[in-house]
A and B are shown apart, each in its own frame.
Chain A
């Protein structure tokens, strides 16, 4: 017997749960305190936004909302590692990355508040909107990356999927496309342990989810998803490689979904409280704050000021959302086609008349 191929999956961590730098290799970001603080601030802002969105839903001012609680390091690191001209194809809870790219908090609220205008957002005009069907967005990223490659543009596509979504054919087909066409692309599996009520172990008996990338011929790596430094480094390297013609990478970022799946879900039905409480010890904001404080770069007073600032900005966004003009009945027709077909013109007229006479 001859071994024809062999594989391994590395795990990257720089910042321990107690906020200590670990490992022999030092990452550049760990000493760039201005940058760390700006990213930390966005992580805190995202968390405060998230809590507010949930309370808006609970008080009937927002539709179903998908929380990002606990995923802030992954999301903000993705945003920070990307360039504006790159394209982002998210699933539906990567707000931290989108805020970094210029999407407004009020636009996220508009989307979950039932208004298509939310997806006509202020982020890069070429970015994909939220994608609910699971893993189909991975193939859009592959298509975008193929367009960049064919046009010889130095741009990359970044896409996100969950541990549950990694079971879908679309995810695997996008890995295969990225491999076959050597696409400038990064696929991030946000493994938060739960696909609504189904735990990670029921998705696959594979030791890692990253190894699905290896099966497709892509370099694949696992990273501590609660460690901003590690995710930022792994993302940056993958993007650099992609931009230089080296092809795609699969990154499995390990984190934990501290929230329910969405506001329509009740996770207490299927997972023990103790598991969630334990996971809180590993969450990303706590450890980054601890690191900054250990380095004498952050104080309780600064923290309190930041929280007040964030609350103010979130409140402004909420007001902007609540005061946004309501969609017109004709809007549902006007963006169906570049030119409205005859039959739809008649339906539009009927709906408009009904509205006027109603």
Chain B
């Protein structure tokens, strides 16, 4: 069994659904013969033809609009936003239409689409190529926001996203697109949406994270283990709707929680998790919840981007502060 990267797992999931569901089409800028700027659709146009893997004109609002229109008419389009920084022209179609069709027609029309977008910093990319704005979408009722953090979760969650009868924004942490390889069996087995994944069991503190920050968080957890601190690591995976039950259960056990995200802190997914813990989990907590996040500043250009993003050091600092509270 060959080991594959996260981006290869995305390709594998797309190929699986193109193969098994005739209503699935892939569309976007450069997704055809070029295979996408990150090669996420590599080889798909050759294999499935230009009617299934569609190069579109360069117009993001149009890509989203076409995707919505196709989805309401019984297709399952999977659109690519080339970078999350270019997703903003799509927002009107996502917020005003994709999210609302089922509700506003009382179930007569639905919108089973996926919009994929590589996101996050850390790859020395130009301006507008490094932001993490998952909270903008997490705020919108009627859609799901799903973020994989490993090749196997990318495969299983993307299958689930494509099969889901409602719209899914699928954000791919591009910093870990090729970070490590994992054995992924192309068996068409999806992973559950709306559920956290417990990546490491622990008893002293709960570390909640998602996307590329899973890497730093797991590294921090290993180092904490050497300090004698047993950290439980939870990958939220679906950041909207959030599976707070799993997080609450973990915090009940550990009594402490640090939330780690690459996105800016203000009004973020981390803020929502912290608020839910304050509302429903306060009596489980032995110390204040801490958020380790990007600063509330414009994502810096790449000379400074590493200083913006939460590091293992920042995670350890926060954990030690939380552990000191007795």
Please determine whether A337 and B92 come into contact, CB atoms closer than 8 angstroms. Answer: no
Instruction: State whether the Cβ of B271 lies closer than 8 Å to any Cβ in chain A.
Output: no
Nearest Cβ distance between residue A88 and chain B, in whole angstroms?
Answer: 12
Residues in chain B near residue A145, CB distance under 8 A: 69
Stretch at the interface among B38-46, B107-115, B125-133: B107-115
Instruction: State whether the Cβ of B75 lies closer than 8 Å to any Cβ in chain A.
Output: yes
Instruction: State whether the Cβ of B65 lies closer than 8 Å to any Cβ in chain A.
Output: yes
Encode A128-164 as 1/0 by CB contact (under 8 A) with B.
1100010010111111111110110000010000000
Q: A143-B69, A176-B57 are in contact. Are A336 and B142 (CB under 8 A)?
A: yes
Residues in chain B near residue A140, CB distance under 8 A: 65, 68-69, 72, 97
Please determine whether A139 and B142 come into contact, CB atoms closer than 8 angstroms. Answer: no
Q: Interface range on chain A: under 10, 10 to 19, 20 to 34, or 35 or more?
A: 35 or more
Residues in chain B near residue A51, CB distance under 8 A: none
Please determine whether B65 and A142 come into contact, CB atoms closer than 8 angstroms. Answer: yes
Please determine whether B70 and A139 come into contact, CB atoms closer than 8 angstroms. Answer: no
Q: A147-B73, A170-B61 are in contact. Are A136 and B93 (CB under 8 A)?
A: yes
Please determine whether B142 and A337 come into contact, CB atoms closer than 8 angstroms. Answer: yes
Please determine whether B106 and A87 come into contact, CB atoms closer than 8 angstroms. Answer: no
Stretch at the interface among A112-120, A276-284, A350-358: A112-120
Instruction: State whether the Cβ of A177 lies closer than 8 Å to any Cβ in chain B.
Output: yes
Please determine whether B102 and A337 come into contact, CB atoms closer than 8 angstroms. Answer: yes
Please report the C-alpha to C-alpha distance between residue A337 and residue B142 in the assembled complex, in whole angstroms: 6
Residues in chain B near residue A337, CB distance under 8 A: 102, 142, 165-166
Please determine whether A338 and B102 come into contact, CB atoms closer than 8 angstroms. Answer: yes
**Which of B66, B73, B102 interacts with A148 by CB under 8 Å?**
B73
Q: A336-B103, A344-B241 are in contact. Are A147 and B70 (CB under 8 A)?
A: yes
**Which of B57, B66, B107 interacts with A120 by CB under 8 Å?**
B107
Stretch at the interface among B152-160, B182-190, B242-250: B242-250
Please determine whether B106 and A147 come into contact, CB atoms closer than 8 angstroms. Answer: no
Q: Which residue of A lies closest to B194 (CB)?
A: A341
Please determine whether B241 and A342 come into contact, CB atoms closer than 8 angstroms. Answer: yes
Please report the C-alpha to C-alpha distance between residue A344 and residue B102 in the assembled complex, in whole angstroms: 15
Nearest Cβ distance between residue A141 and chain B, in whole angstroms?
Answer: 6
Residues in chain A near residue B71, CB distance under 8 A: 143
Please report the C-alpha to C-alpha distance between residue A116 and residue B105 in the assembled complex, in whole angstroms: 6
Nearest Cβ distance between residue A351 and chain B, in whole angstroms?
Answer: 14
Please determine whether B106 and A117 come into contact, CB atoms closer than 8 angstroms. Answer: yes
Please determine whether A144 and B103 come into contact, CB atoms closer than 8 angstroms. Answer: no
Please report the C-alpha to C-alpha distance between residue A336 and residue B102 in the assembled complex, in whole angstroms: 6
Residues in chain B near residue A121, CB distance under 8 A: 108
Contacts of A164-183 to chain B: CB distance below 8 A: 169-170, 173-174, 176-177, 180
Instruction: State whether the Cβ of A286 lies closer than 8 Å to any Cβ in chain B.
Output: no
Q: Which residue of A lies closest to B66 (CB)?
A: A143
**Which of A144, A169, A180, A344 interacts with B73 by CB under 8 Å?**
A144
Instruction: State whether the Cβ of A335 lies closer than 8 Å to any Cβ in chain B.
Output: yes
**Which of A133, A147, A148 interacts with B92 by CB under 8 Å?**
A133
**Which of A119, A136, A147, A336 interacts with B108 by CB under 8 Å?**
A119
Please report the C-alpha to C-alpha distance between residue A129 and residue B107 in the assembled complex, in whole angstroms: 12
Please report the C-alpha to C-alpha distance between residue A258 and residue B13 in the assembled complex, in whole angstroms: 55
Encode A327-341 as 1/0 by CB contact (under 8 A) with B.
000011001111001
Please report the C-alpha to C-alpha distance between residue A176 and residue B66 in the assembled complex, in whole angstroms: 12
Please determine whether B69 and A139 come into contact, CB atoms closer than 8 angstroms. Answer: yes
**Which of A141, A150, A331 interacts with B75 by CB under 8 Å?**
A150
Instruction: State whether the Cβ of B25 lies closer than 8 Å to any Cβ in chain A.
Output: yes
Please determine whether B92 and A136 come into contact, CB atoms closer than 8 angstroms. Answer: yes
Could you list 10 further interchain pairs (A-B, Cβ under 8 angstroms) beyond the known A173-B65, A177-B59? A116-B104, A119-B105, A120-B108, A129-B104, A140-B69, A142-B69, A143-B72, A150-B51, A335-B106, A338-B110
Pick 30 A–B contacts, CB within 8 A, sort by A.
A116-B104, A116-B105, A119-B106, A119-B108, A120-B107, A126-B73, A136-B93, A138-B65, A139-B61, A139-B65, A139-B66, A139-B69, A142-B62, A143-B69, A143-B72, A144-B72, A146-B69, A147-B69, A150-B51, A157-B69, A173-B59, A176-B57, A177-B57, A180-B56, A331-B106, A335-B103, A336-B142, A337-B165, A337-B166, A343-B244
Residues of A within 8 A of B (CB): 87, 89, 116-117, 119-121, 125-126, 128-129, 133, 136, 138-148, 150-151, 157, 169-170, 173-174, 176-177, 180, 331-332, 335-338, 341-344
Q: Which 10 A-B pairs have the closest CB atoms?
A: A143-B69, A139-B65, A341-B241, A140-B69, A120-B106, A173-B62, A143-B66, A338-B165, A147-B73, A335-B103
